[in-house]
């Protein structure tokens, strides 16, 4: 079954930051003609489209060109592909499924364990200075709240500032005593997220700029002095033809995670020498040099259950994960990399000399060296 990316048959928005259509290359076709073109390419489902009218129009276009029988068969081909997937996972009542067999599969302990084990294996111990980890269950932990600044979400809608605990404290309490007073804590865990910055500012465009801002991988404000003067991208030829260059050279951007740096620094000060662990939810590479020296231990995870993370922190499970990407030394090395060449950034080197490169990770003994690191080592 083939599904398109979201809204590829829709028209582009009035501004680049509006969540809208992506009909690049076929802008001059009607919405229905785009649907017909996609159907004739063998696609079964239109991502982000809830309107049946252009689909029916596309059907009639096919009838006119190929005949009713051909188009009926074409639609039924997609119907079979779609329904098979829905039936197979039991999304609605299906006389061809065996309920007893289904109950034996859904929530099967062996499958649940396999999924949880996969989460454990994905967690990467990035730093463990002076063998800070593991920290045995029963200790007292301080978890500061996380500040998410106001911004624009994925769909282009404004989102308000949030100040809240980054994890469910009741789950933390299964492992440790939780306190909101750093003076009473044995250690702290600061939960942060890798930086994400939007890359476009309507205010910049309205002020006479091209609208494009740096996409930063650091927590602090970033000014792109090393960016290209002329972008590879061609600008906005359809909705704003006056923009022929998307360069953001010498412009400044903020990530939506910039308060995290202050939280780390404030927690470090409040803990007065007691261990500070930073847990990073990694969605993309980031510049660890901004805070690495303030952390006694750093753990990277990619969206696991909090229990999986705490099983590592508490020592129930030894970490075995490896970084699946490079962590850059700084933003200049990010700007200078080649988009189509892997492993060409200068990776960050931490206070104890470990290199945060592709395939790096620690266990309780130190740097992991096994069959994986041999297989995936990069010759430079």
State pLDDT tens for residues 189-227. Answer: 999 999 988 888 888 999 999 999 999 999 999 999 999
> Among residues 217, 220, 214, which one has the least CA distance to residue 261?
220
Residues 96 and 161 in one domain: no
Mean pLDDT, rounded, of the chain: 93
Cα dist from 4 to 9, 62, 89, 226, whole Å: 9, 19, 21, 36
pLDDT at 94: 63
Residue 146 C-beta-side C-alpha neighbours within 13 Å: 19
User: Do 57 and 43 share a structural domain?
Assistant: yes
Is 250 among the domain residues? Answer: no
Contact by Cβ (8 Å): 119, 305: yes
DSSP codes of every residue in 241-270: TT------TT-EE--TTHHHHHHHHHHHHH
Each residue's pLDDT tens digit, 69-106? 999 999 999 999 999 988 887 767 666 667 788 788 88
pLDDT of 267 reads 99
Residue 201 in domain: no
CB 236 within 8 A of CB 249: no
- 339 plus 276 within the same structural domain: yes
Sequence-ordered alpha helix ranges (H) in 67-188: 68-88, 99-105, 109-122, 169-172
Residues 189 and 116 in one domain: yes
pLDDT (mean) for 259-279: 98
Do 355 and 266 lie in a common domain?
Answer: yes
Closest by CA to 297, choosing from 367, 362, 365, 219, is 362
Distance from C-alpha of 17 to C-alpha of 366, rounded to nearest angstrom? 45
**Which of 55, 74, 106 lies at the terminal end of a domain, its last residue?**
106
Residue 24 sits in the same domain as residue 42: yes
Do the domain assignments include residue 231?
Answer: no
Give me the DSSP letters along 309-375: HHHHHTTSS------SS--BSSHHHHHHS-TTSTT-S-B-B-TTS-B--TT--EETTEE--SHHHHH
pTM listed for this prediction: 0.84
Let me know whether 346 and 263 are in one domain: yes
**For residue 292, what pLDDT is reported?**
98
Q: What is residue 178's three-state secondary structure?
A: strand
Residue 229 lies in a domain: no
Q: Within this chain, do residues 36 and 175 fall inside the same structural domain, yes or no?
A: no
Same domain as 90, residue 40:
yes
The DSSP element (H or E) to which 279 belongs, if any, is: strand 276-281
How large is the average pLDDT for residues 135-160? 89
The whole-number pLDDT of residue 152 equals 75
Q: Are residues 283 and 351 in the same domain?
A: yes
What distances in angstroms separate CA 345 from CA 189, 251, 290, 327, 358, one per listed residue?
A: 29, 22, 17, 8, 10
Q: Please report, for residues 137, 139, 228, 263, 353, the alpha-carbon distance to residue 174 in angstroms, rounded to integers and kept in the order given.
A: 9, 11, 50, 24, 35
How many domains does one find in the chain? 2
Last residue of a domain, one of 44, 75, 106: 106
Per the domain annotation, does 95 fall within a domain? yes
Q: Among all chains, which residue has been given the structure tokens 């048959």?
A: 9
Report pLDDT digits (tens) over 293-314: 999 999 999 999 999 999 999 9
First to last CA, the chain: 40
> For residues 252 and 215, is the Cβ–Cβ distance under 8 A?
no
- 295 within domain boundaries: yes
Whether 187 is in a domain gets the answer: yes
Domain, as residue range, for 286: 112-196+256-375
Look at residues 71, 106, 141 and tell me which one is the last residue of a structural domain.
106
Q: Say if residue 18's pLDDT is above 80.
A: no
**Which tokens in the block code for residue 42?**
């063998």
Both tokens of 286, joined, read 């980031």
> Do 187 and 300 fall within a single domain?
yes
DSSP string, 180-234: S-GGG-SEEEEEEE-----SB-HHHHHTTS-SB-----SSS-EE-TTS-SS-SS-
Using DSSP bridges, classify how beta strands 151-152 and 158-159 pair: parallel, antiparallel or unpaired. Answer: antiparallel
Residue-wise pLDDT tens digits, 320-369: 999 999 999 999 999 999 989 999 999 999 999 999 999 999 999 999 99
pLDDT at 93: 66
Residue with tokens 């069959």: 371
Residue 208 lies in a domain: no
Report pLDDT digits (tens) over 218-259: 999 999 999 999 999 888 887 788 999 999 999 999 888 899
The tokens describing 241, both together, are 């033809």
CATH number of 318's domain: 3.40.50.1700
22 and 124 inside one domain: no
The predicted-structure confidence for 168-186, as pLDDT tens digits, reads as follows: 999 999 999 999 999 999 9
Helices 31-40, 53-66: inter-axial angle, 10-degree rounding: 60
């Amino acid at each position: 079954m083939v599904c398109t990316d979201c809204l590829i048959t829709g028209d582009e928005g009035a501004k680049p930051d509006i969540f809208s259509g992506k009909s690049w290359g076929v802008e001059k076709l009607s919405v229905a003609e785009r649907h017909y073109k996609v159907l004739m390419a063998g696609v079964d489902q239109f991502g982000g489209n809830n309107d049946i009218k252009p689909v029916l129009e596309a059907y009639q276009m096919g009838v006119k060109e190929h005949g009713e029988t051909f188009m009926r068969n074409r639609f039924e081909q997609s119907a079979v592909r779609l329904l098979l997937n829905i039936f197979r996972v039991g999304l609605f009542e299906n006389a061809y499924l065996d309920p007893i067999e289904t109950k034996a599969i859904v929530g099967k302990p062996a499958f649940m364990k396999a999924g949880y084990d996969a989460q454990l294996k994905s967690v990467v111990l990035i730093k463990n200075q002076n063998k800070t980890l593991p920290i045995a269950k029963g200790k007292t932990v301080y978890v500061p709240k996380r500040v998410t600044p106001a911004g624009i979400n994925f769909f282009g809608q404004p989102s308000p500032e949030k100040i809240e605990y980054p994890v469910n404290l009741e789950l933390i309490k299964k492992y440790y005593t939780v306190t909101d007073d750093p003076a009473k804590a044995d250690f702290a865990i600061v939960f942060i997220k890798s930086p994400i910055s939007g890359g476009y500012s309507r205010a910049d465009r309205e002020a006479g700029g091209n609208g494009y801002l740096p996409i930063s991988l650091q927590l602090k404000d970033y000014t792109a002095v090393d960016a290209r003067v002329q972008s590879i991208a061609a600008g906005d030829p359809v909705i704003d033809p006056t923009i022929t260059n998307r360069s953001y050279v010498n412009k400044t951007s903020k990530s939506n995670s910039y308060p995290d740096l202050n939280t780390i620094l404030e927690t470090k000060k409040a803990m007065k020498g007691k261990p500070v662990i930073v847990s990073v939810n990694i969605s993309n590479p980031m510049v660890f040099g901004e805070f690495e020296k303030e952390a006694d231990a750093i753990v990277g995870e990619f969206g696991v259950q909090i229990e999986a993370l705490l099983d590592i922190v508490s020592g129930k499970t030894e970490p075995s994960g490896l970084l699946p990407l490079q962590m850059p030394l700084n933003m200049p090395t990010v700007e200078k990399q080649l988009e189509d060449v892997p492993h060409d950034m200068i990776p960050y080197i931490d206070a104890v000399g470990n290199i945060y490169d592709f395939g790096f990770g620690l266990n309780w003994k130190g740097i992991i060296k096994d069959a994986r690191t041999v297989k995936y080592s990069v010759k430079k």
